[in-house]
Amino acid sequence: MAFTLRLGTAFLVLLLFSCAAEAGEVGVNYGMVANDLPNPASVVQLLKQNGITMVKIYDANATVLTSLANTGIKAMVMMPNQNLAHAARDPVYAAQWVQDNVKKYLPRTQINAVAVGNEVFDDPNVDKMTLVPAMKNVQKALADLGLANAVKVSTPIAFSAVRDSFPPSGSRFRDDIAQPVMKPMLQLLQRTGSFLTVNIYPCLTQMQQPDDIPLDYALGNAQHAVLDGSNKYYSLLDAQLDATHYAMEALGFGNVEAVLGETGCPNKGKIGKHRPPRRGVGSSRRRLLDDGGSEPEASVANARAYNNYVINRVLSGNTGTPHRPRADMHVYIFALFNENNKSADPDDVENNFGLFYPNMQKIYDFNFRGGGGGGGQPPAGPAAASWCVANAAVGDDRLQQALDYACGHGADCSAIQPSGSCFEPDTKLAHASYAFDSYYQRNGRATSACDFSGAASIVYQAPAVTCSSAKPSWCVAKPGAGGAQLQQALDYACGHGADCSAIQSGGSCFQPDTVAAHASYAFNSYYQRNGRARVACDFSGAGSIVYQQPSFCAATASWCVANPGVGDARLQTALDYACGHGADCRAIQPGGACFQPDNKASHASYAFNGYYQRNNRARVACDFSGAGSIVYQQPKVGNCVLPSNAG
């Protein structure tokens, strides 16, 4: 087949790259400006228990970094502002700092970035002209140690570095920093494959401009778009991110990624003397989640809504912005704990950004493993199932308005059209519940995605409705589509995230060897991986959604095993990585059930397969720089049969 012949090494590299790049990750800022926090070892256990895989700290605390060893949690460490002048003028000092605070802890602690300073432009005690020289010296020190690919250098800037932030397309960096600092900084970031770190706080912007910015726009739940040319903004976060993108582009750097170094919403308190935010835009003051107090925007309800909006958006893969629809979104939520020494006033919002109280109890529900967090009392355990249903009490007019919004903003409402499979019962309540739930599920079950101005609510028992928006469906090649059209669409699907390994020559689903059969397999993989969005089964008319399971290979069992030919040293490196990043390696420890045979290839096969299965058998999860291979016959390691999660 033409497809099989064209899927050579270059295409496989492209496929693996696109699978790895089309994602975001969400972590937390672990601040320690408090006198009542738990010890770092307990904090690391808290991170692990809650599925938090990425953390940023505001120094290079030895106890924290030691506690993170062998956890697989990625850490961004920070060179404090007071060190910048010395690091800028003395490369030997910068090299020693890197040796003492980065190299010393690798590879057991997975340090993946160094933040050189923090919001330097807003610190009157730091000469901003020292920032880029310090970054260059730190980066050179990493390069000299062979760490430049694994550990990136960046610096967090406050959003106040951007001027004229609305409309986003007109945004620029401040005149005092644009040419002398930002341009050489962006040159360094581009040259080294690094990213700009920016701290953005839509909630604080709204709190200081409540008459200009609707609260739902700040929380990511706006039902009316703010326009900038052809771009439509339904969240202030997107507008501020794109303002940063446009500011970089104005200096000629349109391909540098922006990472959210801090974002969050206070759970209580007054805004006090927090730095003034950049100007936003809005139409009217609306307090959708006011739960009392002198400043109702600073509330548990709003913190829960905003942070769940961000967490669930990243985990669902909905990471693009109107200006950069294909952008990744890597985020550090601020902050892990309420920190009681950030301000002398206990009611200042600065003390109240935590996800947890210092006793390690959650302040509100959230879930870093996916599945949303919301109001009410969900059942115990991770990723509790939930649904969004209509509230009959608001009346048909408000239900119709919200129904129209949901259907116009991503909900798949085809089944509730006349003659559709869920048209009956033909009532506003039934149709609205279907549309609301489709919108809610497609937005990662974020609390803010089931508001609809009070017309909907989240429930934790499956609703008694005739139809469910989660009805199983599949995407297949449309009968009558020509071979050339199918081949083009097949290549697109395999190149944009579909796992097409099983339809390669020798793969478990290679037969029948026809374009239509291979296209159906690839289309369905792409469709399922994109949340069964209707648009993900279009393929310019070559795909069709069906509601009866077709007879193609959809969930073939597969395993990941070691390639002994790479040698024991490479196998050991990959084995350590797998065990440190989620594979359960207890059975291959001395005395474990799968310790025998005690050799690198057997132990590596066990670990690789554990990592591969835990990552949903994604092809990239069995790469290990060439040390792993996917097989379709169940292998054995000694007396241990390797498991598969295929269902």
Q: How far apart (Å, rounded) are the C-alpha atoms in residues 192 and 596? A: 44
Q: How far apart (Å, rounded) are the C-alpha atoms in residues 594 and 638? A: 7
Helices 483-495 and 9-21 sit at what angle, rounded to 10 degrees? 60
Helix (H/G/I), strand (E/B), else coil: 224:
coil
Q: pTM for the whole thing?
A: 0.58
Q: How far apart (Å, rounded) are the C-alpha atoms in residues 172 and 162? A: 6
- Which pLDDT band holds residue 289 (cuts at 50, 70, 90)? very low
| CA dihedral of residues 627, 629, 634, 639 (deg, nearest 10) | -10
**Which residue is listed with tokens 């070559």?**
542
My answer on whether omega of the bond before 335 falls inside 30° of 0, hence cis, is yes
The number of CA neighbours under 13 Å toward the Cβ of 436 is 33
Question: How many beta carbons lie within 10 A of that of residue 560, not counting itself?
Answer: 28
pLDDT tens digits, 501-526: 778 876 667 777 788 889 998 898 88
Cβ-based burial of 484 (10 A; exposed 0-12, middle 13-18, buried ≥19): exposed
pLDDT tens digits, 403-458: 999 998 888 888 888 767 677 777 888 899 889 988 888 887 777 788 787 788 77
Structure tokens at 229: 């040319």
**Candidates 249, 257, 262, 297; catalytic one:** 262
Q: How far apart (Å, rounded) are the C-alpha atoms in residues 537 and 96? A: 54
**Which residue is listed with tokens 């059942």?**
379
Domains and CATH numbers, the chain: 26-271+297-356 (3.20.20.80), 387-459 (no CATH), 474-546 (no CATH), 559-641 (no CATH)
Structure tokens at 572: 């050991």
**Candidates 119, 249, 257, 350; catalytic one:** 119
In the sheet that holds 152-154, the strands lie side by side as 152-154, 110-116, 74-79, 54-57, 26-30, 331-333, 257-263, 195-199, 156-158
**Which residue is listed with tokens 């084995």?**
575
pLDDT of residue 83: 97
* Closest listed residue to residue 362, CA positions, set 46, 1, 51: 46
Active-site residue 424, yes or no? Answer: no
**What percent of the chain has a predicted confidence (pLDDT) above 90?**
41
Mean pLDDT (whole number) for 347-357: 92
Q: How far apart (Å, rounded) are the C-alpha atoms in residues 477 and 125? A: 63
Q: Which residues contact 166 (CB under 8 A, 6 or more apart)?
A: 228, 239, 243, 279, 280, 281
Mean pLDDT (whole number) for 127-155: 96
- Which pLDDT band holds residue 557 (cuts at 50, 70, 90)? low
Residue type, 214: P
70-84, 388-402, 500-514, range with greatest mean pLDDT: 70-84
